[in-house]
Structure 1
Amino acid sequence: MASQEKIISFPHMGNYHIAIEFLIRHVLENIQVLTPPPITKKTLELGAKHSPDFVCVPFKYNLGNYLEALDGGANLLVQSGGGCRFGYYGEIQEQILRDLGYDFEFISIIDNENVNPLAFFSRFKRLNPQLSFARFAYYFYLTFKMIEAMDTIDATIRANIGFAVQEGSFEKLQKEFLQKLPSVNGFRSLDRIYRHYHALFRQLEVNKPANPIRVGIVGELYTLMEPFSSCFIEKELAKKGIQVTRFITVSYLLRHHPKSSDLLKWAGKYLEYEIGADGTDSVARAKMLAEAGYDGVIHIKPFGCTPEVNSMPMMQNISNDYKMPVLYFSFDAQTSETGVHTRLEAFHDMLMMRREANTWQNVI
């Protein structure tokens, strides 16, 4: 491995691979970057084939990403930690891959204990001894601002794509925006691209009612941010003319995440203690969405995700108290996309009927 040229790779999660690749290319100039192919059924099948049966689906997706990357020539894999048992999956995935005969180096960039720039720098420094802190800090912050720009654009899309007059206009412009990001060469360049496309998105023609059906999505972070893992649930809602709200993004998790004490305060009587990972966030946000008059909430999680399972009784209490429907989804390798779409169709029909019933009550 010492004399072999290093080729680094990492798992997918939404479109964030663009920012990850951007950072690696600028701080690890001595290492080639190989982004795995986009997630497909093959990715999940590969991961599921070599994973323990009852491990959560993010593990299976990540393992599938690693297998595709190793088969593509990677020999240096990046693993990140998490706020739940996902933080311990790296060791298991490494052992599985070694048992399959792969020769590679496995590194952890993010762990549960040290999520700060200095910790990031020390890990990157081990891979590139010539890396200065000034260069790392510059590109680390530039990458974070890129992620913020991506998340802001995504929020605009999420709120309006379901009402586009020209089908595919938002997707086409988003693709163009994402293709511009690798050419960023500084903060002014990023700001110029962001402002240009943010203005273009706001100019896209939409036929949005004054009071559209609004649905909030809460749950576990991976299934929220990797659309393939939730059968593209946001896209399916948009097709039905629903305005979607989602809080959890990478920039939210890294910088804008509320303190636990604030989340518990927002959750009020429904939660007295933290329940781990994103579970506390799910309860607090569900209550906030109910108080904001949302038509419904969709709660998504990997099958067997303990923190999210723990959040469900409190969310059901919120649903009962505020008369706001909550639809629950658990995703795994065997989840039927047709079944998900059927349940979404029924949920949409129910929300429409509730709207019509309320309209008649107000008229009477």
Structure 2
Amino acid sequence: MASQEKIMSFPHMGNYHIPIEFLIRHVLENIQVLTPPQITKKTLELGAKYSPDFVCVPFKYNLGNYLEALEQGANILVQSGGGCRFGYYGEIQEQILRDLGYEFEFISIIDNQNVNPLAFFNRFKRLNPQLSFVRFAYYFQLTFKMIEAMDSIDHYIRDHIGFALQEGSFELLHEEFLKELPAVDGFRSLDKIYRKYDALFRRQEVNKPENPLRVGIVGELYTLMEPFSSCYIEKELAKKGIQVTRFITISYLLRHHPKSSDLLEWAGNYLKYEIGADGTDSVARARMLAEAGYDGVIHIKPFGCTPEVNSMPMIQNISSDYKMPVLYFSFDAQTSETGVLTRLEAFHDMLMMRREKEQWQNVI
């Protein structure tokens, strides 16, 4: 492989491939970056075909991403690790791909013990011996600022897209914003782009009622952040004029995540101990949403995700105590998009009927 051109690829997760590619391009100048094709049914079919049946669907999506990237010429694959059994999937994925006859280098950029800038630097330094810590630190921080800008814009979109007067206006503007990010050449440049689009989004005409239907989404991080894996639930809710709230983003996970003690305090009597991965967060946020008077909560997870399965009884107790409806979704390779949309439609109808009943009772 020494005489080969080095081509690195990585799995998709929402639009975060943009900052990942940005970082690699600027700190690994000796390596070409190949972003795999956008996730489609083909990606999932490929991943599911070669995955063990019992693994969660993020494993299958990632494996499908790797297969598509390898077919396009990638010879270095990046795996990120994670806080649940997903953190141990890299070795299995590597073996599956080698058994299929692919030759490549497999690298874990993040492991469960060393999520800090120095650990990141050491891994990148092995790939680019000429890399200085100063250059790495600059682009690492710039990349994180880019992620924060993306997450901030996304938060505003979730709050308002369902009430846009001009159909598709938010989507088109968001596409323009994402297209400009790769050309960022420094912090001032990034700040200029962010301020430009923040102002443009706020100038979009919306007809948002004073008290719209509000739904919070909690659950496992991959199915929350990769819209294809959850059948674009947020977009479907917005079409129904619902304000959507989601807490988990990359910037939330890496920098703004509350301490475990805070999450347990927010969960109140519903949870005494951590239950792993995003499960504790799901319970705490469900109670916070209930306290804030949200109309409903949607809990999403990959089929068989143990931490999220553990969180469900507590979330159901919150639902019962606060009289707040909760809709549960488990996603896998066999999930029917039609079934998801049908259940969302019924959930929306129920929330509307509850709201109308409350308004009628207030009149009486």
Secondary structure of 2:248's match? coil
Tell me, in whole angstroms, the C-alpha distance in 2 between the residues paired with 1:249 and 1:175: 19
| Corresponding residue of 2:303 | 303
Tell me, in whole angstroms, the C-alpha distance in 2 between the residues paired with 1:236 and 1:40: 18
| Corresponding residue of 1:69 | 69
Tell me, in whole angstroms, the C-alpha distance in 1 between the residues paired with 2:42 and 2:60: 11
| Corresponding residue of 2:289 | 289
| Corresponding residue of 2:210 | 210
Cα offset, 1:12, TM superposition:
0.1
Q: Which digits, 9 at most, give the CA deviation of each residue in 1:134-189, with x for residues without a partner?
A: 00000000000000000000000001000000000000000000000000000000
| Corresponding residue of 2:238 | 238
Tell me, in whole angstroms, the C-alpha distance in 2 between the residues paired with 1:50 and 1:80: 20
The residue type equivalent to 1:235 in the other structure is K
Secondary structure of 2:78's match? strand
Q: Which digits, 9 at most, give the CA deviation of each residue in 1:33-87, with x for residues without a partner?
A: 0000000000000000000011000000000000000000000000011000000
Structure 2 residue 177 is matched with structure 1 residue 177: yes
| Corresponding residue of 1:130 | 130
Tell me, in whole angstroms, the C-alpha distance in 2 between the residues paired with 1:11 and 1:66: 7
Secondary structure of 1:110's match? coil
Unaligned runs of 5+ in 2: none
| Corresponding residue of 2:225 | 225
Tell me, in whole angstroms, the C-alpha distance in 2 between the residues paired with 1:53 and 1:311: 23
Structure-2-length-normalised TM-score: 1.00
Tell me, in whole angstroms, the C-alpha distance in 2 between the residues paired with 1:239 and 1:265: 35
Q: Which digits, 9 at most, give the CA deviation of each residue in 1:200-227, with x for residues without a partner?
A: 0000000100000000000000000000
Tell me, in whole angstroms, the C-alpha distance in 2 between the residues paired with 1:327 and 1:277: 21
Secondary structure of 2:109's match? strand
Tell me, in whole angstroms, the C-alpha distance in 1 between the residues paired with 2:178 and 2:80: 24
What is the 5 A alignment of 1:231-270? Answer: 231-270=231-270
| Corresponding residue of 1:18 | 18
Structure 2 residue 334 is matched with structure 1 residue 327: no
Tell me, in whole angstroms, the C-alpha distance in 1 between the residues paired with 2:356 and 2:268: 31
Cα offset, 1:3, TM superposition:
1.2
Q: Which digits, 9 at most, give the CA deviation of each residue in 1:92-137, with x for residues without a partner?
A: 0000000000000000000100000000000000000000000000
Secondary structure of 1:217's match? strand
The runs of at least 4 aligned residues of structure 1 exceeding 2 Å deviation read none
The alignment-based identity, stated in percent, is 88
Tell me, in whole angstroms, the C-alpha distance in 1 between the residues paired with 2:153 and 2:359: 33
Cα offset, 1:355, TM superposition:
0.2
Tell me, in whole angstroms, the C-alpha distance in 2 between the residues paired with 1:215 and 1:136: 40
Tell me, in whole angstroms, the C-alpha distance in 1 between the residues paired with 2:265 and 2:210: 31
Cα offset, 1:311, TM superposition:
0.1
Cα offset, 1:196, TM superposition:
0.4
The residue type equivalent to 2:206 in the other structure is V
| Corresponding residue of 2:313 | 313
The residue type equivalent to 1:314 in the other structure is M
Tell me, in whole angstroms, the C-alpha distance in 1 between the residues paired with 2:132 and 2:69: 28
Aligned length: 364
